[in-house]
Amino acid sequence: MDRAALQERFGIVGSSQALMQVLDRVRQVARTDITVLVEGESGVGKELIAHAVHELSPRKHGPFIIVNCGAIPEGLIESELFGAEKGAYTGATERRTGYFEGADKGTIFLDEIGEMPLAAQVRLLRVLESGQFSRVGSNQTRTTDARIIAATNKDLGREVQAGRFREDLYYRLSTVRISLPPLRERKEDILPLFESFVFQSAQKYNSSRRTLDASARDLVRRYAWPGNVRELRNVAEQTVVLLRGESVSAADLQPFLRGVTAGTGTELMPIARTGEADETRERELIYRALLELRHEMRDVKEEMSKLVELIRGGFAARPSIEPNTLAGSNFVVVRKPEEDEEDYASYIEDVIYEIENGDEGEDEADDSALPDFMTNTQALPTLEDAEHELITRALKQFEGNRRQAAKALGISERTLYRKLKEIDEEL
């Protein structure tokens, strides 16, 4: 099958040299049973390439099973991949067939392989080398004739160096590597892809086809597309569903280009102002951006509030959390060993307060709130010495409780932490 036939069959649009190299590699490896590692950023189409390899192989009549390694909980991934016997673990009420058994005589696509836990990596290496495995809770050896295609958006070489991925498995998986470049590195493919998605969406929703004017075409070409093909398809679909009129301008497309992703800039293109209508449109876009920022900050506050609850709830009720970390629902905060839970929870609350109110008034102490033992008016020490003395006496009076000491001094605990650190450095 030549390139053109391959592109037509699997709906692969583009003519860049980088894409042609990928298609050539697919045609070369498809006829073999060799293990393939597909690399590329999120949204570039790694699953499509894996599917093409399977469909062009002698295994095309066998099953093609997709497994997202990052979506399976760590405690279940081995039973999902290799199966489990009845009673092997709590909740295993019946014998379970794993994905590798189901993929026999076919292909198994392990997406996000970089997220696989180390324990499961050991068993996967055995399957790669001998085709043998055993169900969880069983000593019986089973075999599978499944071709493995893996995909990752991580640099597995760096993951190996960091100790998060086995070196022997990395070399076994990467026998053949197919690297999919991001859209920003094959700009000549962007506009044909976008117009193809617009056409498909118009057919899907029984809508009239949209036509990009010169400004919209220029914007589509210049935008960085951090979400790659997935983002491109999403914007094309919004263009068909949400816009009225057949002609689409850059101002029409701009609200759909979020461009927010880890490690990339927003790359939002400015709108050329040609009159009052354009200025009004620009104000609307700015207002929308401010609203989105406000929502994001609210989400941050909610996550940090959950973290405070978790800290003060203690670790006894959450034994699955490692003792050196405090986990929110979407992020992990490294715990400083010298701080107890109550102090650290208060520190997080200070951060939440700053998100809402800024730093105004944070370090202002109210003299009337100072206790009697701090009102000595004899020989005046230097301001620095007086500050050290006040902090020392407050901590002594409250038996080292920094929260009560900070309250008595009329400052935040965060400020007290900083002052104590300065004292330690001077000593």
For residue 396, the model assigns a pLDDT of 84
Please report the domains of the chain, with CATH numbers, ordered by start residue.
Answer: 3-181 (3.40.50.300), 185-272 (1.10.8.60), 294-357 (no CATH), 367-426 (1.10.10.60)
Average pLDDT, the chain: 79
3-state secondary structure at position 21: helix
Under 8 Å between Cβ of 143 and 131: yes
Q: Per-residue pLDDT for 264 more than 50?
A: no
Six-digit token string for 117 = 């836990």
Phi, psi values for residue 67, rounded to 5°: -125, 120
Q: Per-residue pLDDT for 110 more than 90?
A: yes
The secondary structure of 56-104 as a DSSP string is TSTTTTS-EEEEEGGGS-TTTHHHHHH-B-TTSSTT--S-B--HHHHTT
DSSP 109: E
Q: Per-residue pLDDT for 286 more than 80?
A: no
At 224, the pLDDT band (50, 70, 90 cuts) reads: very high
Cβ neighbours for 216, distance < 8 A, ≥ 6 positions apart: 248, 249, 250, 252, 253
Q: In angstroms, rounded to a whole number, what is the distance separating the alpha carbons of residues 28 and 378?
A: 89
Give the 3-state secondary structure percentages of the chain, helix then strand then coil, rounded to 5.
50, 10, 40
What does pTM read for this prediction?
Answer: 0.60
Which secondary structure element, helix H or strand E, spans residue 38, and what is its range?
Answer: strand 36-39
Pairing verdict, β 132-133 and 142-143? antiparallel
Mean pLDDT: which of 80-84, 275-279, 342-346 is highest?
A: 80-84
For residue 113, the model assigns a pLDDT of 95
For residue 306, the model assigns a pLDDT of 61
How many CB atoms sit inside 10 A of residue 5's CB? 9
Q: In angstroms, rounded to a whole number, what is the distance separating the alpha carbons of residues 379 and 278?
A: 69
Q: Per-residue pLDDT for 177 more than 60?
A: yes
Q: In angstroms, rounded to a whole number, what is the distance separating the alpha carbons of residues 2 and 25?
A: 12
Six-digit token string for 413 = 């605990």
Under 8 Å between Cβ of 5 and 145: no
Phi, psi values for residue 327, rounded to 5°: -110, 130
At 403, the pLDDT band (50, 70, 90 cuts) reads: confident
Under 8 Å between Cβ of 121 and 160: no
Q: In angstroms, rounded to a whole number, what is the distance separating the alpha carbons of residues 381 and 423?
A: 16
Q: In angstroms, rounded to a whole number, what is the distance separating the alpha carbons of residues 154 and 46?
A: 13
For residue 352, the model assigns a pLDDT of 63
Pairing verdict, β 64-68 and 107-111? parallel
The secondary structure of 367-395 as a DSSP string is GGGS-GGG---SS---HHHHHHHHHHHHH
